[in-house]
Amino acid sequence: MIPDRTTAPFDGVYAATLTPLLANGSLDDALLYRHFRDMAAVDGIVGVLCNGHAGENFTLSREEKRRVVEIAAEAIGDKSIIVAGVNAEESREAARHAMDAQAAGADAVLVFPPFSWALSLDDDMAVAHHQAIAEATDIPLMLYQAGVHTGSLAYPPAVLERLVEIASVVAIKEGSWETSAYEANRRLVKRVAPHVAVMASGDEHLLSCFVLGSEGSLVSLAVLMPEVIVALDRAVRASDLVAARQLHDRIYPLAKAVYGVAPGGHATARLKTCMRLLGRWPSDRMRPPIGPLGEAEVAMLADALRLAGLAD
C-alpha cells in the first residue's frame, strides 16, 4: 500500500514480523503469508516491518529477503504498509537490497547499521552508507537507532542530526532501550527534522516512551500481543494513564522474558518459541548456530505468557 505522504504517512503501530522455517531450514512461504495476514487483521496495526532483526535478516540470503517482501506484498500489500529491513555490511550491497525491496513491493526500507560498525565507525561512514541507499532508490528510508550499550552502532547526536537531514528519511525506529536517551534523541530529531516520525521500539519501555511522545512503534512483541500494544498506544494518547499502567503490567514481564534475559541473541528464538507455545506456529526452528532453547528457558517463557494473560 502506497501511503499518502501529505500528512504523517508512516505514523502508527507496526508488527516487526518473524520468519518461519520448514524442517529443511527454508522459508515456510505459506505460514509466512498467514503471519502477515494475521498481523494486518488486527485493528490498529498499520503495517509490518519484515526482514528486521526479529525476522532474522542477517541469516537470510539476498534472494530470501526479496521473497519475504514479495510474500508480504501478496498477503497485505493492498491494505497495509510494508517496511523492509536492509542489513548489509557493504554500502553498494545494501543499496541493491533496498532496490530489491522496492521492486518486491515495500513502501519503505529500514536501514540497520552493519554489525561491523560495532568494531569501528566514523561519522562520515554512517552518513555515506545511508546516502548510497538514498541515491540508488526513490523509496522512503527509516533509520535505526541502536541501544545505548551497543557501542558505535548507536549514532551519537551529531551523526543522527546529519542522518535525519537526508531528504528521503521519513522515520526512525528509536531503539536506545533507555528512556533518557530516547527523549534526547526525540528532541533532537524534532528540532532538526520535525517531519521525521520517531517510533518507540524498546518493548520494556513502551509506556514511558509513549508518554514522552511517539509517532508509533515498530516492535516485535506485537507479533505476540498486538491488541495490547495498540491499546497501550491509544490509552496514552487518550491520557488514560490508569489503563496504560494496567496494560504495561501485562507487557513488561513478557518483554523482560524475551529481551531482558541473557543472552540477548536468543530474543528471536524466544519469540518463535512463544508462537509455538501459544499454538500459533507448529515449529520454533532457527538457523544455526542458534539451536532449540533449553527446558528452563521455555518454562520461563510459558510463565511470562501466563502473566501477560495470553495463556492459561
In a domain, 6, yes or no: no
Would residue 108 count as lying in a domain?
yes
CATH number, domain with residue 84: 3.20.20.70
pLDDT at 221 over 60: yes
Range of the domain at 214: 12-238
Q: Evaluate if pTM is beyond 0.85.
A: yes
At 282 the pLDDT is 97
**Mean pLDDT, range 78-88, rounded to an integer:** 97
pLDDT tens sequence across 257-298: 999 999 999 999 999 999 999 999 999 999 999 989 999 999
Contact 68, 51 (CB under 8 A): yes
Q: Is residue 259 part of a domain?
A: no
Distance CA 236, CA 11 (A): 15
Q: Is residue 154 part of a domain?
A: yes
Q: State the total domains in the chain.
A: 1
Amino acid 7: pLDDT: 59
Q: Is residue 303 part of a domain?
A: no
> Is residue 184 in some structural domain?
yes
Is 250 a domain residue? no
Tell me if 150 is assigned to some domain.
Answer: yes
